[in-house]
């Protein structure tokens, strides 16, 4: 009986924690199906009226989604800008990290450990430290105010290399040596032996990279001046005072790609072991 009470208490505590984490999402979903007037009325403060925490709409409405998709094409354009930035960054960073991690883990070459130590140093540097050097290089390459100014610097990161290296360390060297004896080349060993065994790490890297690039703000503000090229992550804060209903709807739309990517890789992501 005591053990059952302890287990029940643990589940209750975990459920409460999950609810607290999901509350902002539930709040956003609920407000995205409210009419703008209802949102303004609920959250307007005055001397005699306090803002109310409202989760149940008086009248269910999808007009905000209609406005965001059809009546306000600027939001849809910014959504596609986000995809045009995020997808190349995720693909490039994943491919580069796979090759670099394989080299640092399974290949022998001079100063390998020294170079990896440099990667570790780069890993502990905050991203804003590199904003000015990256800006100077992008300016020299005449890429300012283009999407390439966001894609190229983000395609090379130490995080992905260090993450996949930890996974590849557990691939048995005996398997690779046996493949070499059978005449397999380096690329065949990488894609036929190593990559299938680290799919969980690759899935984790893709999800984390996608989310990081999808939420990019600082780099956009520094490198991009043309508002037509802004992603939705910046637009949500820029238009926060114009129409709260549309902002809530765009917030829901903004959340969907990351959620779909996680669900697609959820099996590999949950089974990943370092």
Q: Enumerate domains of the chain plus CATH numbers.
A: 1-61 (no CATH), 69-271 (1.10.3720.10)
124 vs 88: which has the higher pLDDT: 88
Burial status of residue 156 (CB atoms within 10 A of its CB: 0-12, 13-18, 19 or more):
middle
Q: How confident is the model at residue 84 (pLDDT cuts 50, 70, 90)?
A: very high
Query: Rounded to whole angstroms, how far apart are CA atoms 204 and 269?
Result: 6
Query: What pLDDT is recorded for position 274?
Result: 46
Please name which of 42, 16, 20 lies closest in space to residue 31, comparing C-alpha atoms: 42
Residue 148: pLDDT over 50: yes
Task: Give the model confidence (pLDDT) of 94-147 as tens digits.
Answer: 999 999 999 999 888 888 888 888 878 877 777 778 888 888 989 998 888 899
Please name which of 190, 173, 176 lies closest in space to residue 97, comparing C-alpha atoms: 190
Query: What pLDDT is recorded for position 46?
Result: 60
pTM: 0.83
Query: What pLDDT is recorded for position 246?
Result: 81
Overall average pLDDT of the 253-272 stretch? 78
């Amino acid at each position: 009986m005591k053990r059952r009470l302890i287990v029940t208490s643990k589940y209750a505590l975990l459920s409460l924690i999950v609810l607290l984490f999901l509350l902002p999402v539930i709040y956003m979903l609920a407000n995205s199906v409210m009419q703008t007037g209802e949102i303004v009325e609920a959250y307007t403060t005055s001397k005699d009226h306090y803002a109310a925490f409202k989760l149940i709409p008086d009248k269910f409405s999808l007009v905000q989604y209609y406005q965001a998709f059809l009546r306000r094409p600027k939001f849809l354009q910014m959504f596609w800008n986000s995809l045009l930035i995020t997808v190349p960054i995720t693909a490039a960073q994943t491919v580069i990290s796979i090759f670099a991690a394989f080299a640092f883990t399974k290949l022998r070459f001079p100063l390998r450990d020294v170079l990896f130590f440099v990667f570790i140093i780069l890993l502990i540097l905050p991203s804003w430290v590199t904003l000015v050097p990256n800006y100077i290089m992008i300016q020299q390459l005449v890429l300012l105010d283009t999407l390439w100014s966001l894609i190229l610097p983000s395609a090379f990161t130490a995080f992905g290399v260090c993450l996949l290296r930890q996974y590849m360390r557990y691939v048995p060297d005996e398997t690779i040596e046996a493949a070499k004896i059978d005449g397999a080349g380096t690329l065949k060993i990488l894609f036929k032996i190593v990559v299938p065994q680290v799919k969980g790490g690759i899935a984790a890297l893709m999800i984390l990279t996608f989310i990081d690039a999808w939420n990019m703000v600082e780099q956009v503000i520094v490198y991009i001046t043309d508002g037509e090229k802004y992603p939705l992550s910046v637009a949500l804060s820029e238009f926060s005072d114009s129409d709260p209903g549309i902002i809530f709807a765009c917030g829901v739309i903004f959340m969907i790609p990351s959620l779909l990517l996680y669900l697609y890789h959820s099996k590999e992501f949950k089974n990943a072991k370092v």
